[in-house]
Amino acid sequence: MKTLILSILLIMIFMDVALSQQAKNPYGGDQQAIKEGAEIFKKNCESCHGPGGKGDICPDLTKKNKKYGNTDADLFLTISKGRPGGMPNWDNTLGPDRIWKVITYIRSIEK
């Protein structure tokens, strides 16, 4: 039974990764999405990532090289599913549309 559950979980993880790698940000470079993403970020992310994403408790998001990958799909997976050590999952709270807007904002503040 444990093997079956583990197998199902691994399949789900691989499917998530495959889907996120195919994902393309529908808002890339859109100025309105950057503005909305900044508001979402301020409300949900700034308490850990600091004002302007410059890092506080959590990583500095203004740097181009991210710990878990640098593509929009990598960021989507990190934000939606979370990461060990403190990054919670935001898929249920924000949903895909708002996550993509946050990613668009993050891209706008990278140096």
Tell me the C-alpha distance between 79 and 89, whole Å. Answer: 6
Alpha-carbon gap, residue 93 to 58, rounded angstroms: 19
Q: pLDDT tens, position by position, for the chain (111 residues)?
A: 777 676 676 666 655 555 554 579 999 999 999 999 999 999 999 999 999 999 989 999 999 999 999 999 999 999 999 999 889 999 999 999 999 999 999 999 999
What's the domain range around 41? 2-109
What pLDDT is attached to residue 23? Answer: 76
CATH number of the domain enclosing 67: 1.10.760.10
Domain count, the chain: 1
Distance CA 28, CA 100 (A): 8
